Amino acid sequence: MGLGFIGVSLLVGWMLVVKPIHEHLRVGQWEQLPATITSVKMLENVNPSNGGTTSYECQASYRYEVAGKTYEASGVSIYKGSDNLSNFQQRIFNELSNHEKSGKPFRAYVNPDNPEQAVLYRSIRWGVTIGVAILVLLFCSAGFVIILKP
């Protein structure tokens, strides 16, 4: 049982702490270019098995130009999927909606080695990252206590 605590904790830590930090560093090397937001929508996912909690996911499409060629992309954030951990999804939805309505350019981070890869938000969500890291440490510690308990 202790190994289960440790294993699941490390897997969650990899997915929600290490992987986003790695993505942030990788995308940090990409070129920042102006992009035109062409569509924005907010998905609301209600989870009946979890007391009807709602998670949110902002989705967007946008165009940008690299070396005279126009590309279209839909990568919004280095974080994939929906969540209800903060107001991040709602905040970016509002920001992108304003840019879509005004036609004002928004920044996109574009992979110079593969211009088809782009993302609009590369920032780390520190509140989520630190919270998950603390939980990972607590559950790993519990796993070790279970293993070492005489």
H helix intervals, the chain: 2-13, 19-27, 88-102, 126-148
CA dist 79 and 23 (Å) reads: 9
29 or 47: whose pLDDT is higher?
29
pLDDT at residue 77, as a whole number: 94
Question: Is pTM beyond 0.85 here?
Answer: no
Range of the domain at 8: 1-28+124-150
Confidence of residue 34 (pLDDT cuts 50, 70, 90): very high
Confidence of residue 101 (pLDDT cuts 50, 70, 90): very high
User: If you average pLDDT over every residue of the chain, what do you get?
Assistant: 92
| Residue 18 to residues 101, 128, 137, 146, Cα–Cα distance (Å) | 36, 12, 14, 25
106 or 5: whose pLDDT is higher?
106
Q: Give 128-143 pLDDT, tens digit per residue.
A: 889 889 999 999 999 9
> Is residue 150 helix, strand or coil?
coil
Residues 2 and 19 in one domain: yes
**CATH code where residue 106 lies:** 2.40.50
Residues 82 and 142 in one domain: no
When divided into structural domains, the chain yields a total of 2
The arithmetic mean of pLDDT across residues 112-135, rounded, is: 92
Residues 75 and 146 in one domain: no
Confidence of residue 46 (pLDDT cuts 50, 70, 90): confident
Residues 78 and 148 in one domain: no
Residues 109 and 46 in one domain: yes
> Is residue 16 helix, strand or coil?
helix
Q: Is the pLDDT at 106 greater than 90, yes or no? A: yes
The arithmetic mean of pLDDT across residues 114-126, rounded, is: 94
Q: Give 61-86 pLDDT, tens digit per residue.
A: 999 999 999 999 999 999 888 888 88
Q: Give 55-67 pLDDT, tens digit per residue.
A: 999 999 999 999 9
| Residue 119 to residues 19, 49, 89, Cα–Cα distance (Å) | 16, 32, 15
